[in-house]
Amino acid sequence: MTIPEHARGYEDFEGTIGRTAAESAPWWPPEPTAPAGAPNIIVVLLDDMGYSDIGPFGSEIDTPNLDRLAATGVRLTNYHTTPVCSPARAALLTGLNPHRAGYGSVANSDPGFPGLRLELADDVLSLPEALRANGYATYAIGKWHLARDANLAPGRTRDSWPLQRGFDRYYGSLEGLNSFFHPNQLTVDNGASEVDEYPEGYYLTDDLTDRAVSAIKDLRAHDADKPFFLYFAHVAMHGPLQAKAEDIAKYRGKYAEGWDALRESRFAKQLAEGIFPEGTEPAPRNTEPGYDVPPWDELTDDQRDRYARYMEVYAAMVDSVDQSIGRILDTVEAFGELDNTIVVFTSDNGGTAEGGPEGTRTYFSQFVHHPVPSDWERDVAHDPELIGSEKLGVHYPRGWGQASNTPFRFYKGQMFAGGVRVPLVVSWPAGLARAEGDDGIRRQYGYVTDLFPTLLDLAGLEAPAHRGGRTAQERDGLSLAEVLRKREAASPRTEQYAEFGGHRGYYKDGWKLATLHRPGTPFDDAEWELYDITSDPAEIHDVSGEFPGIVRELAAAWERAAWRNTVFPLGQGFGPQARRPSHARLADPVRLLPGTPVLERFRSAQLVQYRSFTVDAELSGDGGDGVLVAHGDPQGGYVLYIEDGRIKFGYNQFGRVSIVDGGDLPPGTRLIRLHAAATPKLRWDFTLALGDGSRPPTTVADLPGRFQLVGMAPWTGISVGRDARGPVLWDLRERRGTFPFNGDLVAVTYTPGELAFGPEAVAAIQREAELAAD
């Protein structure tokens, strides 16, 4: 039968259509089906973990599961990544150079330039999309950090969220970091988890691992053969550093000899393992101002004790990650699939200097990245026994950061090896069996964009040419499959540009050109340093004066690559305050009803940060105890509450707590007003006032001169009628739990004032800080 011309809906049908079923033949569109024997793929990505932090790359930390993978797998010792996290994740998951993917920086700003879109474009195909088109189930667990922070709230675009980028399921933190005991917000697929209080004994790494194990079991219960892709991006090792007490106890006392001794012992193990050839020279301690590390034996006894405790926590976290890997491997092995599973383990960038020269017990105060007043407290003293616990957010001094990056110089954020050279372990017993005499060590150059095509190549798969009807952008990555298979194979990658925050780099045929850019100085050729990283992998000997022709050649190559990859404009002024004008509406007044889910962090911050603000709690009756409004957690926040009939305000200034008591709440009180007046030098003057609704409220208490919560604080968003998730005041949580209000709360209204901390205020604080440092 011929289908009439006016019929619709049959155009793509390849069966037969008649007037009756008897005259028709069915047809079904083909479903994506993986080739027979296609391997599972597991990518485990750590955050801020340096080159030497695992056993296969020189560490003393207990990592038996990674040791197990390396023993039969391949270690790539000359693998490079980007200096910070979002660019590395974008490059890994798309195979595009980070600026082309839109991630010249982290997804915490919105500068308005092509290389800093900080969202994936519609024509950028992702690795999970390619694998799903080849019949894979796809799961993402853990840290995402590929959606701008302004797009994490309800009603915003989800175009760069995991499920919109090829993953079937997602569980984790869309943010760039999180608390390990009290995450500010976790996301399940396309929405926020509405948990108000985490159970006793909760630890984020364990939770993420539970979800990963469950996903594998769930798939196998429904499909015995479908291969899966598990992208497990740990929130560890990003600060704040926190670990379970039993894991910390395992490392108590193990770092008393300090970072100098640790660097020596790790480098000795690297030489013994063949990671570097005999004769390799390790970098000395960093001495450059702002990056320098003091000799361990010149520290005081108190400093040595406290600094060693920080490293104990860090080691415990690495140990915890290895335990997680063990649980994943055991699950896959229980299904008899471990031999045919590709496992990739690596880090997004090198170890960090975010803890500053002395480390900190108040992470978010230390983490403020713009000028602050000279009396700003970057470290509030606490009981040393609390270091690493749920009550503190800590980070180690940068001396441990350089030890993490042994044998290299510098840290996360710089173009030097300490920032961009990280471990890479690849295991696939069924497909990468090593030849006799092959020690599994590969010294060929590789880059993070190469993982996408390498995995497809190993699995024998092709990526779709289109995404959503558009031609997909051509990938920059090159397959390292032959390098993995053959120790003598040449690296397909001979050149690679790099840039972050004005720091520039270019690699070509064993030569590396790099700059350590100083803010306010020109981006000119005088900045370039040149290293022969074949003979000098620690980048100690600058030979730019000996080879000016190579400097000119590589500098010109960097310039060409920068224009091809949308690197320009250069600058270090694209921080969190660089936002599109429409974001201003996020600071409009908002009325929050009881039962409103916890507000997202960025949305909450726009109501209070760098400005005066007023919080009005409306009551419709007398009586009731509990929290009216809370914003923040143990690392900084404020809470307004009624306890035993008395109105109280608690302020947690990055760990320094103040509580003011406004006295008994008079009968007939219908308005409780908290006002924060922003003052110069980043302070708030708080007043607490009460009213009956018929006349202006009367001040009953004040709390002047408190440092503002800025940067990433308050970390946990606003909650109405309870103090959800991490507690602002520990004593209150231990007495009352989340302390839900049991009276007649009508609403809580935030009325933000104008911004009181613009460029002029930053400049004034910068001048003050410079004078104080002289």
Active-site annotation, residues: 85, 145
Spatial contact of 89 and 438, defined as CB atoms under 8 Å apart: no
To 10 degrees, what angle do helices 204-222 and 301-334 make? 10
CB atoms within 10 A of CB 319: 20
Spatial strand order in the sheet of 137-143: 191-192, 187-188, 169-173, 137-143, 228-233, 40-46, 341-347, 424-427, 74-76, 441-442
- For Cα atoms 520, 710, 199, give the angle at the middle one, nearest 5 degrees: 135
At 749, phi and psi to the nearest 5? -115, 130
Q: Give strand pairing partners of 172.
A: 142, 187
Of the candidates 563, 534, 421, the one whose C-alpha atom is nearest the C-alpha of residue 76 is 421
Residues contacting residue 134 through CB under 8 Å, at least 6 positions apart: 32, 34, 35, 38, 459, 461, 462
- CA dist., res. 706 & res. 723, Å (int): 21
Provide the pairing of β-strand 446-447 with 79-80: parallel
R_g over Cα of the chain: 28
699 contacts: CB under 8 Å, gap ≥ 6: 687, 688, 689
Which tokens sit at 86?
Answer: 């979002």
Residue from 197, 191, 153 nearest 172 by CA: 191
Q: 722 near 196, Cβ under 8 Å?
A: yes
What single letter denotes the amino acid at residue 341? T
Q: What region does 616 belong to: left with phi over 0, alpha with psi -120 to 50, or beta? A: beta
Fill in the DSSP letter of residue 546.
T
Q: What is the DSSP letter of 575?
A: S
DSSP state of 16: B
Tell me the pairing of strands 626-633 and 718-720. Answer: antiparallel
**Residues in a beta bridge with 747:** 618
Contacts of 396 (CB under 8 A, 6+ apart): 241, 307, 310, 311, 313, 314, 355, 359
